[in-house]
Amino acid sequence: MSPFMIKLGIWPKGQSWFGVFCITIGSSVVFPFFVTSGLQFAPASDAGALAPGMIPIWTAIAAFFITGERPKNLALVGLGLILAGVLMVGLWSSLFTLNVTVFKGYLLFFAGAGLFSFYAVIYRQSGITAIHGLVIGLFWGALLVGPGLLLTGQVPFAQANLNEIFYMLILQGVIIAILALLLFNLAVRLLGAPQAAAFGALTPVLAMLGGVWFLGESISLVKIVGVIIVSSGVFLASGVVSGRNVDKTLS
């Protein structure tokens, strides 16, 4: 992506210090750091539900405080359904075994989702194009994280074969770092931050279905009900029912 960095620049102009922080390293460093740190304390299945699943809730809160945007009645109902469904999908299996250590992981998941939500709202306000926002995050994220990983010896290439390295280059370097964030930025520009974030609540649903399809994992009736509730919440929170797919407040 370096040609785009050279052409478009790597600095978000006209932003507050908090806006610069969110756009430069908020999505590329801080959000992944909190989520991966939480994995030391809580199960990965809970991370898949709580981190992306809470983004719509946090985004609605961030949009209210930053832009004054208030969710419509149906959107509020949808957000409530998303919250209930996410808790059912991600927390039900561990409700009776929770301890303080696991709660630390949950708090880190919530914090990461919250910071990413502020990024979404501030990015929408900035007027920066989707690809420009992408390269800004990639540059500053790599500049901050790359040297730290090398200096601390946390790049274990000696323990991985060429196939594993190539697989991770495609998965992390292209699909997640470029395509996923670019598509999300485009969705934010077209729909608005709260509406685009609402679709992020489908991540735990897709992750659970992927586990069943590819890994042969079993799911409980409670989680199936949670999936249905999350999907219904996304439908309502996205604004499809009211016919307002485009966020007029921020246009």
- Residue pLDDT, tens place only, 165-182: 888 889 888 888 788 878
Q: Residue 246 falls within a domain, yes or no?
A: no
Residue 248 lies in a domain: no
Q: Using 50, 70 and 90 to split pLDDT, how confident is the model at 244?
A: very low
Select the highest-mean-pLDDT range: 14-23, 199-208, 209-218, 231-240: 14-23
Evaluate whether residue 242 is within a structural domain.
Answer: no
244: left (phi over 0), alpha (psi -120 to 50) or beta: beta
Q: What is the mean pLDDT of residues 202-212?
A: 72
Q: What confidence tens digit (pLDDT) does each residue in 132-155 have?
A: 888 898 899 888 888 877 787 767
| More confident position, 124 or 10 | 10
Nearest to 78 by CA among 219, 179, 197, 207: 197
**Residue (of 203, 200, 229) closest to 85 by Cα position:** 229
| pLDDT tens digits for range 92-144 | 656 655 567 777 888 898 888 888 888 888 888 888 888 888 889 889 988 88
243, part of any domain: no
Give how many domains the chain has, as a whole number: 1
DSSP letter for each residue of 142-189: HHHHHHHHHHTT---GGGS-HHHHHHHIIIIIIIIIIIIHHHHHHHHH
What confidence tier does 247 reach under pLDDT thresholds 50, 70, 90? very low
pLDDT at residue 23 greater than cutoff 50 = yes
Q: Which residues of 195-234 are buried (b: 16+ CB within 10 A; e: fewer)?
A: bbbbbbbbbbbebbeeeeeeeeeeeeeebeebbebbebbb
Domain-embedded: residue 250? no
Q: Is residue 244 part of a domain?
A: no
28 belongs to a structural domain: yes
Q: Which of 123, 132, 143 is nearest to 29 (CA)?
A: 143
pLDDT at position 40, please?
84
pLDDT tens by residue, 30-70: 888 888 888 888 776 677 777 777 778 888 888 888 888 88
Whether 249 maps to a domain, the answer reads: no
Cα 32 to chain center, whole Å?
Answer: 9
Amino acid letter at 136? I
Percent of the chain as helix, strand, coil, to the nearest 5: 80, 0, 20
Amino acid occupying residue 217: E
pLDDT of 195 over the 50 cut: yes
- In which domain, by residue range, is 28 found? 2-237
- State the chain's mean pLDDT as an integer: 78
pLDDT for position 197: 67
Handedness of CA 45, 46, 51, 54 (dihedral sign): positive
pLDDT(17) > 80:
yes
For the ranges 104-108, 214-218, 220-224, 236-240, the maximum mean pLDDT occurs at: 104-108
